[in-house]
Structure 1
Amino acid sequence: MTVLPVRRLLVGLGLVFAVYLASRGLMWTATPSAPVVYVSALALGVISTAICLFADSRIPAAYPDAPLTAGNRGPSKLPVWAAVLAVATAALVPTAVSLSVGADHRAESWATSYVGLIGALLTVATVRRRPGFAWAGTAALAVSTTAWLGPIVALGQGLTGSVMWIVGAQLLLGFLDRAARDTVRLVELQRAAVAWQAVQETRRRERRVRVRFALQVAAPILVRVIQSGGELTPDERAQARLAEGSLRDELRGARLLDDRVRAELDSARRRGSTITVFDEGGLDGLDQQSLDRIRGELAEIVSGTVASRLIIRTARDPRVAVTVVGRMDESDDEDSVVLWEEIPRQRVAADDPRRARD
């Protein structure tokens, strides 16, 4: 059974209960002195209860973190005008009934049925998240019934039960809201745990890929180092430097690399260039098409440079994804810089008005 049919069932039961309490008052054993006023007072109680049950609220849910008991899936907040009507009904009905039945019949069970009816009305207001108005109506009901019946009779004719209904409704709604919030937090924790497990699995898979790549690149030269006792030929030393550079690239800037970029970096190293690659998160959030474009531009830049020292770095910049700096020597002199290229995160079309603003 879904939430909506259950809610309709509870609303229907509340209305039937209010009609039942009012009908008890119509089974009088003595004719009221003002029957029209008496019946009108009971009708007002039933109508007010129906309004509080069905009144639509355009106010946002009072408890957005408790979706199981708020908004469209649970009791929403009662409109202020309906809550004021409930308080006014709680204040008027006891006096109207007491005056219409006469002093001799005010303590009769049929004449005090309004106490339960008003208690049901205020319970509905409590469930509809207007406890302040509900307690104000309870105070008005208590004052009126005590004034007309006396405290002992009023407590014995349903005032105690009405107060207990409101207390129970407020406590139950609070428990449901707390349970709903705990459920939401549990779901969030489960999602976070699943996401963490997925991230860890992805990292493990990536580490396995890196290990296989490292073995593929470095294993032959390492075997040669062991076999020769470290006595390598110049060609083997060059291969060892290339293998070391490739491993550093994979560890420091894997997202910058594809087959073409790897090939161009390897060619630049064979030409004698020293290359340093750093990925500091500049490629985060980019789609595959943007990554392919950036890698293609990087491969073209590396293939056309004659710099002896090449620094490739990504950074968390809103405009630039990759910066490539080339120097002719190891000094920090600005005159030694022969290459400075910035690859943007997004290419702007020539007729795009953002280009003019930039």
Structure 2
Amino acid sequence: MGTVLSVLGVAFTAYLAAGALLWTTAPQYPLLQVSAVALYLLTTWVCIFWKVPRAAGRQEPRRFGERTLLPAWAAALAIAVAVIVPSATWIAAGHDGRLADYGTWAIGGVGALMAIVMVRRRPWTAWIGVVLVAVAAIGWIGVSAALAFGVVGDVLWVAVAQLLTWLVDRAARDTAQLTDMQRAASEWLASQESVRRERRTLIQRALAVAGPILAHTITVAGRLDETERQLARIAEGTLRDELRGAALLDDEVRAALSSARARGTVVSVLDEGGLDDLSADERAALRGDLARVLTGARSQRLFVRTSTHDQIALTVVGRSAGDDGEDAVDLWHEFARRPAPERQPE
């Protein structure tokens, strides 16, 4: 699209400049006329094609419109053209040719140049150029002739260029916002899908754990013997572990918890989010240590809790009835949180 607009800009400015070089009666100073046209075309095509170079080492993408910003020196050159070319053209045309096509072409030519400058994000430069060519036209050919031969068109061209630039910039901002919204929506949908998969996994695991004993309980109408009641209690505790402490569990930890409950130990497992900042390897090592502690524990009640403490990741507390019948802590094991490795200076 940018290439097409550039080609159209070149073609249109070349067409306007051609009017300065096609005459039946030669201007008074032909060489000056040709020089003015050459300066105009050179400046116009510089304003169309010259790009702002990317900053060295810059990696992030450019903002919309940054590529089209006209360099300051090119904007100054455009102002110089607005001052020099119209007056040079009327001098070259002479008194008798000031209202001829080759005498008034510069009004439309500078207007087209200022429309290009406006598109290149130099609005003040564009409007200053329009004012300068209008003042020059009024001074050389009068107010009515200046309005009739293109000053009004210059104002309209630059105004329309500014309006279109504003509309394009607004559309680009809206598009960027829509892209951000779509990205956020995609991320939210992905997170929800992850949550749904996790919930399906938990449900399937819960059905695998509690389904058989529930089906048997329904079959016997709740008349369970002591062994079956013990199995039901183990299934209930296992199901509670899956719902409240899934981050602490792997096959080894589940086996250790089942063995503890089979020995008659009451176990409570609760994950309160204290492991969120641990890596996968750190969690695996922590679960291995937890399984070994649970396997060796002989307490009547075990409490396994994650911790948000800066140094402690997990705590296991065991309580048993003492000789006097009062509960006493007979196991206290804290799992230290491994410090994050220091970042080496680059």
**TM-score by structure 1 length?**
0.79
* Aligned positions, number: 331
Structure 1 position 57, deviation (Å): 0.8
Aligned equivalent of 2:172: 180
| 2:334 equivalent among 341, 345, 352 | 341
| 2:126 equivalent among 128, 134, 145 | 134
Aligned equivalent of 2:110: 118
Matched, 1:257 2:249: yes
Partner Cα separation in structure 2 for residue 285 and residue 157 of structure 1: 76
Instruction: Name which of structure 1's ranges 209-218 and 108-117 shifts more when overlaid on structure 2.
Output: 209-218
Structure 1 position 113, deviation (Å): 0.5
Describe the SS at the equivalent of 1:328: strand
| 1:322 equivalent among 304, 313, 316 | 313
Aligned equivalent of 1:238: 230
Partner Cα separation in structure 1 for residue 315 and residue 132 of structure 2: 79
Structure 1 position 227, deviation (Å): 4.8
Describe the SS at the equivalent of 1:112: helix
Q: Which letter does structure 1 place at the counterpart of 2:313? A: V
Q: Deviations over 1:73-132 (max 9, x none)?
A: xx5211111112112221222222223323332222221111121112111111111122
Q: Structure 1 residues 88, 198: CA separation in 2 closer, same or farther (over 3 Å shift)?
A: same
Aligned equivalent of 2:325: none
Q: Which letter does structure 2 place at the counterpart of 1:326? A: V
| 2:302 equivalent among 306, 309, 326 | 309
Q: Which letter does structure 2 place at the counterpart of 1:328? A: R
| Contact 2:271/2:305, CA 8 A, preserved across alignment | yes
Q: Deviations over 1:261-317 (max 9, x none)?
A: 21122223334142222142633684x4444334333323433444533222154x7
Structure 1 position 254, deviation (Å): 1.9
Structure 1 residues not aligned, in runs of 5+:
1-5, 349-353
Structure 2 residues not aligned, in runs of 5+:
322-327
Describe the SS at the equivalent of 2:103: coil
Partner Cα separation in structure 2 for residue 107 and residue 296 of structure 1: 96
Q: Structure 1 residues 299, 232: CA separation in 2 closer, same or farther (over 3 Å shift)?
A: same
Partner Cα separation in structure 2 for residue 253 and residue 146 of structure 1: 85
Structure 1 position 51, deviation (Å): 1.3
Q: Which letter does structure 2 place at the counterpart of 1:310? A: F
Q: Structure 1 residues 147, 252: CA separation in 2 closer, same or farther (over 3 Å shift)?
A: farther
Structure 1 position 228, deviation (Å): 5.1
Matched, 1:276 2:269: yes
Instruction: Name which of structure 1's ranges 271-280 and 320-329 shifts more when overlaid on structure 2.
Output: 320-329
**TM-score by structure 2 length?**
0.82
